[in-house]
Amino acid sequence: MKKNMLRITITVIILFILCTFLSKTIANSLLPVVETTTYEFAELSNVLDLEGRAIYLETEKIRVDFSFKVVDVFVKEGETVRVGDPILQVDTKESELQKEQMELSLLQLTNMRSQWGLSKNTQNELDMEIGILQSQIEWHKTSYPEDGCVYSSVFGVVKNLYVEEGEYTSSVVAEIVDKRQTLFVLVQLTEENTVSYPENCPVTYTFSKNVFEEGKNKTIVLQKSSNVEKVVRDIKTNDFLYYIPVTSGEGIEEGKTIQVQLRQVLGRFEKVLPLSAVSVVPGGDSRALFIYVVRTREGLFGEEKYVEAVAVEELAKTGSKIAVYNIELMQDWEIVVFSDRVLEKGQTVKVME
């Protein structure tokens, strides 16, 4: 009899333990699962991703001021030239003839001026004509190539050639990019974006570079910082052109595609959270915000976790983070950033490990 009672008692205890365990397991499986974090002290910045192109702002224009026939062209677009390198050769016969005619006219005027018996007015007129002709001859000498060659005045790359052999020209014959000047990345923004990203705003630019390491050619990705130096409105599109100076000597060539991030720095804040941590009070003002904080209490099966709503004020926000204010918000508070179900105030939850 006693043995039967003992067996029954043990069985009841085991069943009670099993029921308690199963009830707790079932209850836990029905609870919302939440992921938590704590706030951080951080800088908030809005970022605008753009694709830009490396350009030089200025070119050295090589020109001739008389009408010449092009005899030969010595360079091609894309070639590097040094100061004094010949760009092209022209036929100077006509120009030399013009110079000789002006020198002959000058000699004739000078001889006339030396004659006796000229009136004062005539002398003054001859002096003016002689002065003008002398200036024209000096300008002619400095404006046409005596040896027939037109030379580069800078060290750089030939960007544009505007003449071919056999053509006549009397204007700009070539444009050369001086490689000593600053290289810029050009990006284009709409007017509404210029409010958030003004001139001098910080920039991060990313580009690829070929290097030789460990006996192999490799392509590496580099990231550098800069600031917008110049903003110009494009009158054709009404967009704004942003010019960003880039580091020289990094293997960036004109025309290269560069990835650019413009940053609008909102400031450094004490309490920064993921945007998903903040909710709007249902049916209230869109500025009435709150967060769920995980608390601990005694429940039917012992200690349990639950959520409590805490009102916060928005200080600043980006696309992924938000700075909030609540004087009571503590660094060690567990703040819900994700829940697999809709939460309610005071609801028991299971915190994701």
In angstroms, the CA 26 to CA 78 distance is 75
Tell me: pLDDT of 76 over 70. yes
Fold of 60-178: OB fold (Dihydrolipoamide Acetyltransferase, E2P) (2.40.50)
Percent of the chain with pLDDT over 90: 41
Provide the pLDDT confidence category of residue 21 given band limits of 50, 70 and 90: very low
Q: What is the DSSP letter of 281?
A: P
Tell me: pLDDT of 311 over 90. yes
Mean pLDDT of 232-253: 86
Mean pLDDT of 29-38: 89
Q: Which residues contact 23 (CB under 8 A, 6 or more apart)?
A: 301
Q: Please tell me the predicted confidence (pLDDT) of residue 25.
A: 47
- Give the class (CATH, top level) of 49-57+181-266: mainly beta
Q: Please tell me the predicted confidence (pLDDT) of residue 267.
A: 92
Structure tokens at 325: 């204010």
Contact 324/271 with Cβ under 8 angstroms? yes
Percent of the chain with pLDDT over 70: 87
Q: Where are the domains of the chain?
A: 30-44+269-351, 49-57+181-266, 60-178
Provide the pLDDT confidence category of residue 175 given band limits of 50, 70 and 90: very high
Tell me: pLDDT of 2 over 90. no
Query: 3.40.47, 3.80.10, 2.40.420, 2.40.160: which CATH number matches 30-44+269-351?
Result: 2.40.420
Q: Please tell me the predicted confidence (pLDDT) of residue 26.
A: 45
Q: Which residues contact 202 (CB under 8 A, 6 or more apart)?
A: 225, 226, 227, 262, 263, 265
Q: Please tell me the predicted confidence (pLDDT) of residue 143.
A: 62
In angstroms, the CA 244 to CA 238 distance is 19
SS3 category, 102:
helix
Beta-carbon count within 10 A of 335 CB: 23
Tell me: pLDDT of 48 over 60. yes
Nearest Cα neighbor of 143 from 112, 210, 98, 175 is 98
Question: Helix crossing, 93-113 with 120-143: angle to 10°?
Answer: 160
Q: Please tell me the predicted confidence (pLDDT) of residue 105.
A: 83
Mean pLDDT of 5-14: 58
Tokens 């809005």 found at: 46
Contact 289/275 with Cβ under 8 angstroms? no
Of the two residues 350 and 127, the one the predictor is more confident about is 350
